[in-house]
Structure 1
Amino acid sequence: MTHLTPHRVAVIADIHGNADALSAVLADVDAHNVDLILNLGDHFSGPLATAETMALIRAREMLCLRGNHDRWMTEQAPDDMGPSDRTAFSELGVADLDWLQALPATIGVGDDIFACHATPEDDLTYWMHSVQPTGEVAGRPVAEVTRLAGTRAERILLCGHTHLPGEARLPDGRRVLNPGSVGLPAYDDEEPVFHVVEAGTPDARYLLLTRSDQGWRADWRSLPYDVSRMAALARRRGRPDWAHALETGRMPRRGAHISS
């Protein structure tokens, strides 16, 4: 936990090796006099630019935590990994993996902010959404979002994981906020049933929090950038599903899906 509460915080999440999206976000962050960059995890998994992304992250002062893909890349043997994790793993050195393994699962900033990848208790549960038996991704009832928040005292509760920007305000005034994904605007998953998550645009996204006497102002930033290099890299690596997601913010028809 960091004990000082900053005035302005940039919250980023789910980069997934997209160095060009991350560069666009960092350039925008630099234009807003940010005191702290808070990174909610899933840094590298994917067929994109793992080494470049690592270099960009390590060159900056930011607080980083561990996402589920970061955890899998340090806990599993390569043969047991999904293709996206395995590709990223192959581009990381021993020191990189040691850095990834040492990341905390949660981070506190001052008395106001708590950050996790998915929920305070685990890195896989969708906090503000749930997957229905039909595969529809729907907003959770506020009572369930509140239950997942537990007894945390912080007023600002940050999560990533779903890649969907948004906010849920709890009855007691606490706020759960998701910055959206820096680098992967759409994906699908087979668990708990097949479902698709789509931001609907190819933009890089992050959240800018500014503290005032009235509380924290939340500004979701949506940044167009040139996706062509990352999309071409995905296609060269045999991942046209990723290329389609990067170019459109939507998934192709089922049959060529993003494997986790």
Structure 2
Amino acid sequence: MTINPKLKTIDCKPSIKIAAISDIHSNVFALEAVLADIDDRDVQQVVNLGDILYGPIAPKQTYELLMNYQACQSKPIITIRGNQDRQIYEATKDEIASNQTMSFIYDSLPLAAIDWLRSLPFDYRLNQQIYLCHGSPIDDMMYLLEEVSSGTPSVREDSDIIERLAGQRAEVIVCGHTHIPRTVTLSTGQIIVNTGSVGYPAYEDELPTSHKMQTYSTHASYAIIEGIETSTGLCWQVEQLKVPYDYQAAACLASNNGREDWAFALRTGRVMPTS
């Protein structure tokens, strides 16, 4: 294809550029690589959509890295909570004792980290155009984009996604929770961006029905969202980024902490087969 040299380019300039991360799940190795990548991309704001410290890898080190990184930034990371952040600070003594991973997390984390999780908001309106949530605007455990009744994810019908927005009308809605990187444009003109997971590329769950979420990749995922002013108005550019990191180190810690299922997922991007 040839391009007509007489065609004029659209006059445009950057308006806002954010880096959106989610679902770190205590994977300090993946987080360190993602934050280094973000530092090279001249973003104005970093946002974190939750599920931060739950996992059998390195919850204390993940918390410390986030706090140290935030202390060096001109703007603090905007952070909301995920369902497994709630699971940590809502855990009873019996739940901690019966859950090996939760017991490991409580043994690892300082009280300040648990208090920090408890202080995080459910959602956040970044500005007039951008809204942040973990799962959906009404439920941190709801899959906003994916239907999983077949056991594997497929994108919901346009009307089903709009219904799950529950009246949220922001131009760009950024979510996580499913660990599947995805960008969907609705009939309303709204854009839904799922950042994927920084630290846990595949999992299996029994709710709302038995299903597997798999990226088939060992990379850490996050998204860059940029609003650009043009002569016709604000347009949105979305980059879904996949960052390499030392996943073997993360898998080794997961295995050492009794979670071979996590170790397999980290090494393959797939759910571990059942025997």
Give the TM-score, by structure 2 length.
0.87
1:235 to 2:250 alignment: no
Give the letter for the 1:209 counterpart: I
Partner residue in 2 for 1:74: 89
1:108 to 2:125 alignment: yes
Give the letter for the 2:148 counterpart: V
Partner residue in 2 for 1:123: 140
Same amino acid, percent of matched pairs? 35
State the SS of the aligned residue for 1:176: strand
Partner residue in 2 for 1:154: 170
Distance change >3 Å, CA 36–CA 78, structure 1 → 2: farther
**For this pair of structures, how many residues does the alignment match?**
250
Give the TM-score, by structure 1 length.
0.92
Q: Deviations over 1:43-77 (max 9, x none)?
A: 01110011110011112120110000001111121
Partner residue in 1 for 2:46: 37
Q: Tell me if structure 2 keeps the 8 A contact 1:73–1:86.
A: no
State the SS of the aligned residue for 2:192: strand
Partner residue in 1 for 2:34: 25
| Aligned counterparts of 2:63 and 2:191: Cα–Cα separation in 1 | 30
**What are structure 1's unaligned runs of at least 5 residues?**
256-260
Q: Tell me if structure 2 keeps the 8 A contact 1:6–1:36.
A: no
Q: Identify which of 96, 99, 105 aligns with 2:116.
A: 99
| Aligned counterparts of 2:102 and 2:143: Cα–Cα separation in 1 | 20
Q: Tell me if structure 1 keeps the 8 A contact 2:60–2:110.
A: no
Alpha-carbon deviation of 1:231? 0.8
Q: Identify which of 64, 71, 75 aligns with 2:79.
A: 64
1:253 to 2:268 alignment: no
Give the letter for the 1:73 counterpart: I
State the SS of the aligned residue for 1:7: strand
| Aligned counterparts of 1:248 and 1:6: Cα–Cα separation in 2 | 38
Give the letter for the 1:62 counterpart: I
Larger Rg: 2
Q: Tell me if structure 2 keeps the 8 A contact 1:14–1:182.
A: yes
Distance change >3 Å, CA 152–CA 192, structure 1 → 2: closer
Q: Tell me if structure 2 keeps the 8 A contact 1:182–1:205.
A: yes
Q: Identify which of 187, 193, 203 aligns with 2:219.
A: 203
Alpha-carbon deviation of 1:78? 4.0
Alpha-carbon deviation of 1:138? 2.1
Q: Tell me if structure 1 keeps the 8 A contact 2:135–2:177.
A: yes
**What are structure 2's unaligned runs of at least 5 residues?**
1-13, 71-75
Give the letter for the 1:79 counterpart: D
Q: Tell me if structure 2 keeps the 8 A contact 1:18–1:50.
A: yes
